[in-house]
Structure 1
Amino acid sequence: MTTLWLTRIQPHLHQRQARKDLSSAAPLHQRLMQLFPDHLGDQARRKAGVLFRTEDTGPTPVILLQSHLRPDLDELPTGYATAATKELTPLLEALRPGLAVRYRITANAVRKPGHTTRATTGAPAVIPLTGADADHWWQRQAEGRSGLHLTTAHSAPLDTARGERAQDKRRITHARTRFDGIAHIKDTELLRQRILDGIGRGKAYGCGLLTLAPASRHTP
């Protein structure tokens, strides 16, 4: 089984570089990639298995970083953050059909009209989804493609992630929605693969990281 690491980074908000990185997903992605070897080539994020998101539900922001390679936390600037890494492989090995889990993901929920629809209606290639449409998108992703059966699902719109494509400087935007709740595992192998690969678009912009934790048997 692929070794998987989860790193929890709590930036020190008095540090200017930390505040700058938290202001946008693009500089944060660049910062996190500096924790991995330089020789990974053009597909460095994919080869390192890097997925991340910023958690802002507590008193201070926390960055969750998942990767196939163990990050070198010494590459963070002095005084930048408090950080620690743990291995997630035991969690992957503990997954089994029927297990109840808490899940959370920040995702780029979108619809891609077909060529004919685009030609006849002028619809864009990618349409961001919000509200009930985003909820239906997550249900399809979770139950149809990720080996989960959703028991509860809550969603919250987040700020749009913005950046610039390196090769042509084209502006990029990714609408983001946070989904969390309780689910039961249906297909263990499919779920493990989706955890490793991430879900949906915008992975370099803080989208796609699915995290799980065992749910209490008393959870409603």
Structure 2
Amino acid sequence: MTTWLARLTLDTSRTDVRKELRDAVAMHRRVMSLFPDLPEIEGARSHFGVLHRVEQAEQADQADQADQAERQVVLMVQSNTRVAPERLPEGYVVDSASRNIEPLLDAFAHGRRLSYRCDANPVRRPGHTTREVYKNLPPIVALHGRHADDWWHRRAGLAGLKIHTHLSHPLDAAVGRCGKGGGAQKVRHHRVRFEGTAEIVDPDALRAAVIGGIGKGRAYGCGLLTIAPLRPTE
């Protein structure tokens, strides 16, 4: 099955774009609108293998384009079916590009070095003993700082990577409300961006992690692991 990675530049001068960037549930729905409708909408993300991430657009090279670049963000969407930007409202997307990343996945080899980026949801579920000692602990604890970094090193190891360098950046939580009326449930996923360089130690595990994502909150902008090979001099 082919794996596609799309890069959609959104125009944040639009009210609907700004609203959906603040609402992780609304953005999830917008992302899913890029694919054919399925009767079982709850299974659509898994069916199409969808992961996504929102990033700031790169700054324009020319001064007269700088203002426009500042108003744009990039939506990265990975899936097993090519996205259909024409399903979005007219003008929602400023620019789009999609590529087949199967050649990249097929080139994974032990010892190959690469750069990586992942907006992840580093959390811990305290065990029974811990919760007995600390009575007010929530069922899921968000990890910060060194604890988040330790979490990433463990998950990266399971994903077939040996980390060489890494930076972590706290991000705003992915928030929204799922459902309607009085039955709506609050969605909140703690997020940290991890990026740096690594070495492949298990190509099969890495391929599975790229395709399936890492951690929780994958419907709401967490878990997409993007990688790029490093040149020998890097």
TM-score by length of 2: 0.88
CA deviations over 1:20-48 (Å, ceiling 9, x no partner) = 22222221111010111211512111111
Q: Secondary structure, in 3 states, of the residue corresponding to 1:113?
A: coil
Partner of 1:63: 75
Partner of 1:75: 87
The verdict on how the C-alpha distance between 1:48 and 1:107 changes in structure 2, with shifts beyond 3 A counting, is same
Q: Secondary structure, in 3 states, of the residue corresponding to 2:149?
A: helix
Q: Secondary structure, in 3 states, of the residue corresponding to 1:97?
A: coil
Partner of 2:21: 22
Mapping for residues 30-49 of structure 1, pairs under 5 Å: 30-39=29-38, 41=40, 42-49=42-49
CA deviations over 1:147-172 (Å, ceiling 9, x no partner) = 00000011010111112233842212
Unaligned runs of 5+ in 2: 60-71
Partner of 2:105: 92
One-letter code aligned to 2:53: R
CA deviations over 1:160-207 (Å, ceiling 9, x no partner) = 111223384221211110000000000000110011110001111110
Contact 2:2–2:80 at 8 Å: present in 1 too?
yes
Partner of 1:204: 219
Partner of 2:153: 139
The verdict on how the C-alpha distance between 1:57 and 1:133 changes in structure 2, with shifts beyond 3 A counting, is farther
| Offset of residue 15 of structure 1 | 2.4
Mapping for residues 111-190 of structure 1, pairs under 5 Å: 111-122=124-135, 123-143=137-157, 145-166=158-179, 168-190=183-205
Please give the alpha-carbon distance, in whole angstroms, between the structure 1 residues aligned to 2:155 and 2:195.
13
The verdict on how the C-alpha distance between 1:171 and 1:207 changes in structure 2, with shifts beyond 3 A counting, is same
Contact 1:4–1:67 at 8 Å: present in 2 too?
yes
TM-score by length of 1: 0.93
One-letter code aligned to 2:13: H
Q: Say which one has the larger Rg.
A: 2
Contact 1:40–1:47 at 8 Å: present in 2 too?
no
One-letter code aligned to 1:43: G
Identity of aligned residues (%): 41
Please give the alpha-carbon distance, in whole angstroms, between the structure 2 residues aligned to 1:113 and 1:165.
25
Aligned-pair Cα RMSD in Å: 1.5
One-letter code aligned to 1:58: E
| Offset of residue 107 of structure 1 | 0.3
Q: Secondary structure, in 3 states, of the residue corresponding to 2:165?
A: coil
Unaligned runs of 5+ in 1: none
Please give the alpha-carbon distance, in whole angstroms, between the structure 2 residues aligned to 1:31 and 1:75.
10
Contact 1:12–1:80 at 8 Å: present in 2 too?
yes
Contact 1:107–1:178 at 8 Å: present in 2 too?
yes
Residues matched between the structures, number: 217
